[in-house]
Amino acid sequence: MNFRRALLLVSIAVAIVLIVPATRVAILRAAAATLIVKDPIQPADVGVMAEFGEGNELEVSDLYHEKMFSRVVLLEPSPTAVDREYLKRGVYRDDIVRTTLRQLGVPEAAMTTVDAGEGGTTESTHALAAWMRLHPSRAIVVVIPSHTRRFRRALMRVWPEQVTPPALTYPRHNEFRASDWWLSRRTLREGVVELQKLALDYLQHPW
């Protein structure tokens, strides 16, 4: 192997080492961009919390104090058999979501609970759409970042035509970020699962 050929091979190898990581990062960021959507936010009638935890309560309370809406709609799963057994035995457990929102300054009177069945994407979007048919409102819906696009696709398939389309946003304090979601095992797993679910959603509903 002559010197020029060796130098060429080394140069190619170095270029690959330098280029591949950058390409990998670009691909991973693009993958996250397919999951995450955020609509322009304007003052609305209600703020909707479709999921609990993961910074959603913080975002809803911040938007409430920013006067983006005056009412909060909570999509809560129906009581399970375990929940009913606790009640049967006279055990009343505090509602952690409402307690958290109250401590963050959202008054109890501003909260409305909507039964979301088992609490999955399909049940939650149908429950919200049904509530909106009865209470037409401009809405801001707060969903975790990795779930925003899939949730919006499901929601718009059942959204009442006569109601203004909602704006979707995500918690500012959530750990899933397009810039580095693959660096944490937890957010990596979350992203991979959501990519699989989104791909299935596109297969089932191509439009």
Q: d(Cα 20, Cα 14) in Å, to the nearest integer?
A: 10
Looking at the predicted structure, is the pLDDT value of residue 90 above 50?
yes
State residue 14's pLDDT score. 42
What is the pLDDT, as a whole number, of residue 26?
83
Residue 11 has pLDDT above 60, yes or no: no
* pLDDT band per the 50, 70, 90 thresholds, residue 4: low
CB-based burial, 108-117: b 16+ in 10 Å, e otherwise: eebbeebebe
Rounded to the nearest 5°, which phi and psi values hold at 22? -65, -40
For residue 19, pLDDT over 60 is answered with no
pLDDT computed for residue 94 by the predictor:
81
Reported CATH class of domain 38-174? alpha beta
Distance set, CA 117 to CA 176, 179, 190, 195 (Å): 26, 34, 23, 24
Per-residue pLDDT band for 46 (boundaries 50, 70, 90) equals very high
Q: Quick check: 115 pLDDT over 90?
A: yes
Residue 10 has pLDDT above 50, yes or no: no
Hey, where are the domains in the chain?
1-35+178-207, 38-174
In this prediction, residues 171-185 reach a mean pLDDT of 93
Query: What does pTM read for this prediction?
Result: 0.85
Tokens of 199: 């791909």
CB 46 within 8 A of CB 72: yes
Indicate if the pLDDT at residue 9 is higher than 60.
no
pLDDT of residue 15: 47
DSSP string, 76-118: EPPP-HHHHHHHHTT-----HHHHHHHHTT--GGGEEEEE-TT
Looking at every residue in the chain, the average pLDDT score rounds to 89
